[in-house]
A and B are shown apart, each in its own frame.
Chain A
Amino acid sequence: KQEVTQIPAALSVPEGENLVLNCSFTDSAIYNLQWFRQDPGKGLTSLLLIQSSQREQTSGRLNASLDKSSGRSTLYIAASQPGDSATYLCAVWSNNNDMRFGAGTRLTVKP
């Protein structure tokens, strides 16, 4: 059974800092990995999707990497802004159409 863990559970940084969010998974037989952003009381917004054959994806100030062999993904946020404050969720889609989510990292970027 796939298990997804996100560390840290919460993170508070000053504006402008570069930061890394971590996601680990127990079964390397994955289809893809997706990072989402969730604002309080809202639904999920897709940030980046990495296919199992890819090593990383970039979008603006965001960069996500994937290392299947070690069961890890990182989300790098450059030059953080207060508008980046949200919960970031990692989700792993296994080859049997099963998508498992981590509990998320709650990020606060202070002005």
Chain B
Amino acid sequence: NAGVTQTPKFRILKIGQSMTLQCTQDMNHNYMYWYRQDPGMGLKLIYYSVGAGITDKGEVPNGYNVSRSTTEDFPLRLELAAPSQTSVYFCASNLGGGALLPSSYNEQFFGPGTRLTVL
């Protein structure tokens, strides 16, 4: 398994440009997440999805959009890039499920990240 893959690894955008960060997982996980990590900070949840066709906002959703048309893919869209969106973006997934499942079902797996700079 490749696990969670993200493209691109690096990107520089000008203010007002748009782009899509790609995320794919091959573990047949139900739940997928997008986080951003600013320098010296922990990760903050942008959006998440509990299955194909279902998405929900996290802690910092403004300026972003997502879609989940398949189980494998969870792209993150920036429509009008702003300097405040300069960050490292991580995609993650887990199998999901209730508290009665073994702990390994709930383990969060992360992609390698996309470093985005908006100038």
Chain A residues at the B interface, C-beta cutoff of 8 Å: 4, 6, 31-32, 34, 36, 42-46, 49-54, 57, 89, 91, 93, 97-104
* Residues of B in contact with A (beta carbons under 8 Å apart): 31, 33, 35, 40-45, 48, 50, 56, 58-59, 90, 92, 99, 103-104, 106-113
Q: Verify A43–B107 contact, CB threshold 8 A.
A: no
Q: A43-B111, A43-B112 are contacts. A102–B42 as well, Cβ < 8 Å?
A: yes
Chain A positions within 8 Å of B58 at CB level: 98
Instruction: Using CB atoms, name the residue of chain B closest to A99.
Output: B45
Assess the B42–A98 pair: CB atoms within 8 A.
no
| Pair B109/A51 contact, Cβ less than 8 Å | no
Q: How far is the CA of A44 from the CA of B37 in the complex (A)?
A: 11
Compute how far the CA of A42 lies from the CA of B88 in the bound complex, rounded to whole angstroms: 10
Interface centre among A36, A42, A99 (most CB of B within 10 A): A99
Tell me which residues across on chain B come within 8 A of A45, comparing CB atoms. 110
